[in-house]
Amino acid sequence: MPRIVECVPNFSEGRRGEVVDAICDRITAVTGVRLLSREMDADHNRAVITFIGSPDACARAAVDAAEEAARLIDLNHHKGEHPRMGATDVIPFVPVSGVSMDDCVALARQVGEQLGSRLKIPVYLYSYAASRPERQNLPDIRKGEFEGLRDLIGKDPSRTPDFGPNAIHPTAGATAVGARDFLIAYNIYLNTTDKEVARKIAAGIRFSSGGYRYVQAAGFEIADRHCVQVSMNLTNPAKTPMFRVFETVKREAERYGVSVTSSEVVGLVPLAALSDVAEYYLQIERWDRKQILETHLLEAETTAGFLESCAARTPTPGGGSVAAYAGALGAAMAAMVARLNDKKAEPGPLHDLIAPADALVGRLAALVTKDAQAFDAVMAAMKLPDNDPDKPRRSDEAQVAATSAPLETMRESLAVLELARAGLEKSKASCRSDAGVAGLMAFAALESAYLNVLINLPGFRDPKRADEFRRAAADTRARGQALKAEIDALLATHFKP
């Protein structure tokens, strides 16, 4: 499983498209990051940008984006409906796959430290990353906004930041950085210009004043549309679904003689959340979410898309990624064999191999992306101007990363070979062919990754460093060849032509 993090930074700019363009350009310039969406709201004067990638890539993109925002946004001249305390107001990290919440907490701390030391912006950790209980809730940290925090920071001990100077940045303010679960930013519009109606409804549904546990809400006037808005964050849409919030706001609005005109989602929304809404309103009998067409299309597209990318006239994904993919397939087969040997009432002879096999699937799958990103970094370093003082360092770092990835694939594939051998030794007869496939795929991965180590060695400026990689790869290959010989012998015993 690849290690993927989602980052959803909010910036205090919703009217100047060129500023948001510049911030997005800094994000997309980072290798390994994919921009998913950008939303701008002129009334709120706020932009929400969503991107995903590896943890390290997302951390770098977040810091670069905050640097650009600090350069282009001056909060002294910022006005909008949405509360804010920083040019980069909030940077949340959300675990997507192969990454735990603890990993995202560590990422938040890493980014917070860089914002404080590099950009001199005070940083407050929030949600799961909060350093103290009273900072778990973002609205509590943002209370008073930029102007209020400017007066209190450095004087009120409760407003001392976790990172950076104990003083407000004169133009960029302060930033909240945290780790959180996936949330839905959901707004409902009402056909009235009375802001108090929206505020009273928001107070009735948000958790802090007695409402739903997983709802944060506020009421705003949307002058350009001549209406008001109940603006919400649904912090756990599985436990407080969209339809329940919508129906509650609708009923509360009727008490004041107004009605809902429309609603909107800001940013991305999980398919499961929309399925909840469809199931609630349509009341479909005998419904199974496997009936959703796109679910099947996405499953098929995962493999087809990778094969298409490999066949394209682009250098990545290349042989290193294919080697890692082959290793992941071998690990998956080893996990399957171990599970099929379990008995209903008790663990089977290979039960203890399930957890390590699953872990190998995840690590090798992550190497598919890691190898491609490492090669992209080599190409990026090569394109730097020769007079760039940073080019030698960037080139050396990229070369090490591009060689480390296939070496790591070799070592992980060696571990898969050991699981495959155990499968052939202990598995029931009906699973031995699958155990053999696990071993053959793992050996193909190891040999393929070995070629990718060798092809990178001439790019090293330091011959001693190149020799270290050469020896490590040769040693791993020799151990793999010995295991392959044992697997071949077992296959010859179990399978006769």
Q: Is 4 helix (H, G, I), strand (E, B) or coil?
A: strand
Q: What is the largest CA-CA distance in the chain?
A: 84
Averaged pLDDT, 150-158: 94
Taking 60 as the threshold, does the pLDDT of residue 54 lie above it? yes
Percentage, residues of the chain above pLDDT 70:
98
Residue carrying the six token digits 């205090």: 12
State yes or no: is 162 an active-site residue. Answer: no
Distance of alpha carbon 146 from alpha carbon 183, whole angstroms: 24
Percentage, residues of the chain above pLDDT 90:
74
Distance of alpha carbon 497 from alpha carbon 248, whole angstroms: 70
Give the architecture (CATH level 2) of 4-179: 2-Layer Sandwich (3.30)
Taking 90 as the threshold, does the pLDDT of residue 370 lie above it? no
Of 59-73, 129-143, 295-309, give the lowest mean pLDDT range: 295-309
Task: Dig out the tokens for 384 from the structure.
Answer: 């730097």
Averaged pLDDT, 320-332: 96
3-state secondary structure 176-233: EEEECCCCEEEEEEECCCCHHHHHHHHHHHCHHHCCCCCEEEEEEEEHHHCEEEEEEE
Distance of alpha carbon 410 from alpha carbon 255, whole angstroms: 67
Catalytic residue among 41, 44, 78, 82: 82
State yes or no: is 371 an active-site residue. Answer: yes
pLDDT tens by residue, 125-147: 999 999 999 999 899 999 999 99
Taking 80 as the threshold, does the pLDDT of residue 303 lie above it? no
Q: Which residue has the higher pLDDT, 153 or 374?
A: 153
Taking 80 as the threshold, does the pLDDT of residue 305 lie above it? no
Q: Would you say 370 and 54 are in contact if contact means Cβ atoms under 8 Å apart? A: yes
Cis? peptide before 139, omega within 30° of 0: no
Taking 80 as the threshold, does the pLDDT of residue 340 lie above it? yes
Residue carrying the six token digits 């007695």: 210
Taking 90 as the threshold, does the pLDDT of residue 372 lie above it? no
Name the residue ranges covered by the structural domains of the chain: 4-179, 184-290, 296-494
Averaged pLDDT, 276-294: 87
pLDDT tens by residue, 414-458: 999 999 999 999 999 999 999 999 999 999 999 999 999 999 999
Write the burial class of residue 304 (CB in 10 Å: 0-12 exposed, 13-18 middle, 19+ buried): exposed
Q: Is 14 helix (H, G, I), strand (E, B) or coil?
A: coil
Taking 70 as the threshold, does the pLDDT of residue 79 lie above it? yes
- From the list 396, 409, 429, the residue with the least C-alpha distance to 472 is 409
Q: Which residue has the higher pLDDT, 301 or 367?
A: 367
217 — phi, psi (to 5°)?
-150, 150
Task: Dig out the tokens for 336 from the structure.
Answer: 């399957």
Q: Using pLDDT thresholds of 50, 70 and 90, give the confidence band for residue 304.
A: confident
R_g over Cα of the chain: 27
Distance of alpha carbon 488 from alpha carbon 106, whole angstroms: 45
Q: What is the dihedral of CA 332, 335, 340, 343, to 10 degrees?
A: -160
Averaged pLDDT, 162-181: 97
Q: Which CATH class is domain 296-494?
A: mainly alpha
Count of helices and strands (H, E) across the chain: 14, 11
Averaged pLDDT, 465-494: 96
Q: Which residue has the higher pLDDT, 271 or 78?
A: 78
Averaged pLDDT, 256-282: 92
Distance of alpha carbon 47 from alpha carbon 39, whole angstroms: 5
Report CA 388 to chain centroid distance, whole Å: 32
- Within 312-431, residue ranges assigned H as helices are 319-340, 354-382, 391-426
Write the burial class of residue 88 (CB in 10 Å: 0-12 exposed, 13-18 middle, 19+ buried): buried
Q: Would you say 226 and 193 are in contact if contact means Cβ atoms under 8 Å apart? A: yes
Averaged pLDDT, 262-286: 90
Give me the DSSP letters along 444-458.
Answer: HHHHHHHHHHHHHGG
Taking 80 as the threshold, does the pLDDT of residue 302 lie above it? no
Catalytic residue among 41, 162, 371, 434: 371
pTM summary value: 0.60
Taking 80 as the threshold, does the pLDDT of residue 311 lie above it? yes
Distance of alpha carbon 66 from alpha carbon 70, whole angstroms: 6
- From the list 326, 325, 351, the residue with the least C-alpha distance to 338 is 351
Q: Is 91 helix (H, G, I), strand (E, B) or coil?
A: strand
The per-residue pLDDT of the chain, averaged, comes to 93
Instruction: Classify residue 85 by its DSSP letter.
Output: S
Instruction: Classify residue 239 by its DSSP letter.
Output: T
pLDDT tens by residue, 210-239: 999 999 999 999 988 999 999 999 988 989
CATH entry, 184-290, from 3.30.70.670, 3.40.710.10, 3.40.50.2000, 2.60.40.180: 3.30.70.670
Q: What is the pLDDT of residue 190?
A: 98
- From the list 132, 128, 127, the residue with the least C-alpha distance to 161 is 132
Residue carrying the six token digits 């010995």: 482
Beta-strand relationship, 123-127 and 227-234: unpaired
pLDDT tens by residue, 204-217: 999 999 999 999 99
Strands, sheet with 227-234, edge to edge from the N-terminal-most edge strand: 215-222, 227-234, 184-190, 260-266
Q: What is the pLDDT of residue 293?
A: 78
Q: What is the pLDDT of residue 296?
A: 67
Averaged pLDDT, 393-422: 95
pLDDT tens by residue, 1-44: 567 899 999 999 999 999 999 999 999 988 778 898 899 999 89
Distance of alpha carbon 258 from alpha carbon 331, whole angstroms: 59
Distance of alpha carbon 376 from alpha carbon 69, whole angstroms: 26
Averaged pLDDT, 150-166: 96
Q: What is the pLDDT of residue 262?
A: 97
Instruction: Classify residue 123 by its DSSP letter.
Output: E
| Bridge partners (DSSP) listed for residue 35 | 51
Taking 60 as the threshold, does the pLDDT of residue 198 lie above it? yes
